C-alpha cells in the first residue's frame, strides 16, 4: 500500500503543498483531482522522488521512502508517467521499454519474471512499431508507450499524470478500459491524475480532491461530488449539483 500523509512543500514563499495526503491499496484505482494549481503534480513529484518534501511521510508497504531519489523509488516499486511526455526520442520503441525492464531485471529479478516486453508492446498496439524511433510516434501512441515503459518495471504502484491529456473521446474511453485491464492483470494500485472528470469517474473507486495544496475531500465519487467544498471549487459558491 502507498500511504502519503502531511506532505508540505514550499518554493520560496509559495506553499505548494500543505498537509497533502494520498492512499492507494494494491488492486485499487484512485483519482487525484483538483483545479489547476491545486498541487497534484507537485504531490506526485514528491512521492516519486523528483522533489523532496519539507515535511510529511511517504511509505510503500510500510517502508518510509520520502526523500529518496527517483531511481531508488522506482526500484522500490513505484512507477509513473509524466504530465509532459518524457520519452527517449532517438531510441526505438522497444529500446524505450527495454531500458526499464533491464533495470527491473537487475534489481528486482523476482518481479521481472512477470514482465514480457513483447507482450507489453502488443498490449499497447506497439508491436509493429517496435523498431521505430519513439519521437516519430503520434502523441497518443507515445502516451501508450510511456505507460508500457512504466509497466516494464513491474510496479506495485503506478502513477499516471494526466494520461488522457490530448486524447479524443474514443481514445480516452479506450485508455480507461486499458487502465482497468492493467489493474486486473497486475494487481497494482493505480493513481490517476486528470482533468477529464468523466474519465476519472468511470475508472476510479475513490477520489482524493485537492485545492491550493490542501486536501479538501476524499471518498467514493458519488459522495465526493456532493461535498460542498468540492462543489464550490468546481462549480462555484452557492451552487448545488
Separation between Cα atoms, residue 30 and residue 193, nearest integer Å: 9
Burial track 111-126 (b if 16+ CB lie within 10 A, e otherwise): bbeebebeebbebbeb
What pLDDT does 210 receive?
95
Residues in the chain: 241
pLDDT tens-place string over residues 104-139: 888 888 888 888 999 999 999 999 999 999 889 888
Domain boundaries for CATH 3.40.50.300 within the chain = 1-73+159-164+189-241
Of the CATH numbers 3.40.1390.10, 3.30.565.10, 3.40.50.300, 3.40.1350.10, which one belongs to the domain with range 1-73+159-164+189-241? Answer: 3.40.50.300
Residue keyed to cell 531500458: 99
Q: How many CA atoms lie within 13 A of 9 on its CB side?
A: 26
pLDDT tens-place string over residues 196-233: 999 999 999 999 999 999 999 999 999 999 999 999 98
Amino acid at each position: 500500500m502507498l500511504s502519503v500523509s502531511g506532505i508540505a512543500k514550499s518554493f520560496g514563499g509559495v506553499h505548494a503543498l500543505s498537509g497533502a495526503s494520498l492512499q492507494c491499496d494494491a488492486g485499487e484505482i484512485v483519482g487525484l483531482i483538483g483545479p489547476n494549481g491545486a498541487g497534484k503534480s507537485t504531490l506526485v513529484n514528491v512521492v516519486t522522488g523528483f522533489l523532496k518534501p519539507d515535511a510529511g511521510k511517504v511509505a510503500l508497504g510500510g517502508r518510509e521512502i520520502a526523500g529518496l531519489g527517483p531511481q531508488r523509488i522506482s526500484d522500490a516499486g513505484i512507477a509513473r508517467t509524466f504530465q509532459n511526455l518524457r520519452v527517449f526520442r532517438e531510441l526505438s520503441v522497444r529500446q524505450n521499454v527495454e531500458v526499464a525492464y533491464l533495470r527491473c531485471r537487475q534489481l528486482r529479478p523476482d518481479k521481472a519474471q512477470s514482465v514480457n516486453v513483447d507482450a507489453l508492446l502488443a498490449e499497447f498496439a506497439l508491436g509493429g512499431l517496435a523498431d521505430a524511433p519513439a519521437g516519430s510516434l503520434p502523441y497518443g501512441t507515445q502516451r501508450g508507450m510511456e505507460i508500457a515503459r512504466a509497466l516494464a518495471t513491474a510496479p506495485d504502484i503506478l502513477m499516471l499524470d494526466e494520461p488522457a491529456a490530448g486524447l479524443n473521446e474514443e481514445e480516452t474511453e479506450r485508455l480507461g478500459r486499458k487502465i482497468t485491464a492493467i489493474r486486473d492483470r497486475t494487481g497494482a494500485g493505480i493513481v490517476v491524475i486528470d482533468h477529464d472528470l468523466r474519465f476519472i469517474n468511470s475508472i476510479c473507486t475513490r477520489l482524493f480532491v485537492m485545492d491550493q495544496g490542501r486536501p479538501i475531500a476524499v471518498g467514493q465519487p458519488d459522495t465526493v461530488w456532493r461535498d460542498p467544498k468540492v462543489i464550490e471549487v468546481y462549480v462555484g459558491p452557492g451552487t448545488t449539483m
